[in-house]
């Protein structure tokens, strides 16, 4: 256990101590680095913990070095002293993994589907319908992507969607 004089701050994810003069990580997104938020992480894996709830479009971890014990002692207690920054950027694969694990994610807007079915037939729609319909949409999208690849494009167009 570290004494208070050697501890600079605590990790925002695991709450372990970050020692003065040691390496720590921050998110490159400005909303995570605001004075009030001030997220700091003891490792890249701790940084990745905040990604699912942060919902960043594109992000990476920036390696920094915490200020030394003498700098911390000299700084006012109200605000932590600025850390020396050593730029080393590490890109996370977490957002890509999350998108690839999306087959369980619902792709259908439930309220719109229910309104359509009710207007068309007067029937109600179960929430259990959303999963199978999302699977159908995924298969159609996968076919459309293959058609765009065959045509040498990186954009899926309306003509790439297979007819029913």
Query: Model-level pTM?
Result: 0.45
Mean pLDDT, residues 104-124:
91
The predicted-structure confidence for 141-152, as pLDDT tens digits, reads as follows: 999 999 999 999
d(CA 71, CA 149) in angstroms, rounded, equals 56
Confidence of residue 47 (pLDDT cuts 50, 70, 90): confident
The predicted-structure confidence for 67-104, as pLDDT tens digits, reads as follows: 887 666 666 555 544 545 555 555 555 444 444 445 57
């Amino acid at each position: 256990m570290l004494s208070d004089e050697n501890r600079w701050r605590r990790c925002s994810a695991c709450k372990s101590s970050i020692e003065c003069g040691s390496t720590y990580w921050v998110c490159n997104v400005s909303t995570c680095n605001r004075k009030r938020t001030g997220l700091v992480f003891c490792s890249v894996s701790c940084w990745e913990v905040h990604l699912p709830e942060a919902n960043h479009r594109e992000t990476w971890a920036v390696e920094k070095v915490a200020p030394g014990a003498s700098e911390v002692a000299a700084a006012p207690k109200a605000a932590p002293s600025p850390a020396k920054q050593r730029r080393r950027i590490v890109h996370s694969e977490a957002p890509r993994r999350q998108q690839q694990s999306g087959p369980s994610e619902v792709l259908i807007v439930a309220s719109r589907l229910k309104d359509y079915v009710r207007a068309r037939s007067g029937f109600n729609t179960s929430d259990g319908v959303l999963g199978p319909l999302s699977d159908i949409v995924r298969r159609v999208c996968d076919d459309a992507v293959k058609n765009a690849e065959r045509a040498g494009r990186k954009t899926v167009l309306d003509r790439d969607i297979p007819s029913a």
